[in-house]
Structure 1
Amino acid sequence: MSSIRHQVPSAWRSALMLGVLLAGLLVVTAPRARAATAQDVSVAFGVRATTEGETLLVSGSAPQLGAWDPAGAVPLGTTASAYPHWSAGIRLPAGLTVQYKYIKRSPTGVVTWESIPNRTLTVSPDGPGNDDRWNVAPVTTDFHATATTTWGQNLYVSGDVADLGAWDPAKALPLSTDSATYPQWAGSHQLPPGTVVQYKYLKKNPDGTVTWENGDNRTVFVTSAGTVTLNDIWR
């Protein structure tokens, strides 16, 4: 009898230890599963388009944009003061590269797609939104800048167009570098063709403060075709 009395607590202790171990594994693994999920950020899609009773929508390669199905396209909105500018904020995973196009839909449901090649966007948590023109193919502009930074600083470019954040550091285009290319930073964005764009580089510090480069605004003429490549040095 005494041996049986000793075995029962021992079995309970083993079961209790197993339960504690399993609970600990759940606590440890749960945060890791959440961390692996891509961060969704709001991307501002905007297009200038005149209409005659139609509404504007955007569709693209991502499920959030309808996966090229007009029935799942995201409607854009406008107001009397904003027209002909249409816009909508859409949440997409950070780092995702999507292709997209705008659509006009008539009151009777007839759909008209843009006839230009697909537009391209890489989602960035603090990148600028889009200021597109209906059926006008944007021009890819490659920004290359040589700039030394302290630990934790990052380089951005902003300018006088919405595509570059309209001088708002919070919406500036982030540039990137690595151990092989530093102190050269690079980034690309699609800009409206046939426009003169003013821009400047800025550094964002770890505490959130911003340092703009010295001198006058830089200027670039965005051609109507091809790719514009800029090679600048921080001043």
Structure 2
Amino acid sequence: MAFYQNSEFKGTDYDGSSKPKFSDLPIEVVYKIVDKLEPVHRIFLRYVSKSLRTIVDDLQYPLRQMEFHEIENGLKIFLNHVEKVKFTRTKNGCEVKTRYQKAVIKGGNYLELALGLLESILSNPRLRLNSLIFGHHHNAKVFSYCIKTLAANEKIPKIYTANLSISASKPTIIKHTVSGITGLLSLISKDELKILKLKTADEATMAEVMRTEFFKTIQATKIHKSVLENSIFIDFG
């Protein structure tokens, strides 16, 4: 591998005759390798071992924007505005597709896999997002299940994001997901959140959201309505 010819290996025990094991590499080299990985590959690397999970979590996370979209028979995850992973339900399991490869998992549950990946992202203690987006496009029950499951996940201690957006195709879907939204808000760092956007939420639903525990200890400075986007924005200044 060309990487092993880099100057970082000078003065080490590697003489070029054979590829060293990953576990034999100097720790500073491992850090440099991991630091060059794309966000989605770092996430997968966390599952390999506790030591690699520690390294991944110790590095500054190269992720500022994340989107989670419920679509027909599947879920999509975007990282930094680029679609990275798509989970699709199949007859006998599910299909997982990234930008580089596709795998069919017999007996796999696309919801569990997608939510497991989200858990890995959102549980990273160094994650600092500019925006976090949840979008409903097809199945209201699946969308509500995902929101509520994430909200109840005790492995996600706190989510740091400046902007939180929850979008649905119909006002009733936002209304029926208020309990999940409330749980999700409980995970959001109040010191970081600047804008909460609810797309297609009616005023009654917004009023219900603002009566939740989250708003008892925080004061919204402005509430905006966008007719063009059919959205309501809560500005925390």
Shared fold, TM over 0.5: no
Higher relative contact order (CA 8 A, sep 6+): 1
Query: Which has more strand, going by share of residues?
Result: 1
Per the normalisation by structure 2, the TM-score is 0.31
Q: Which has the larger radius of gyration?
A: 1
Q: Which has the higher helix share?
A: 2
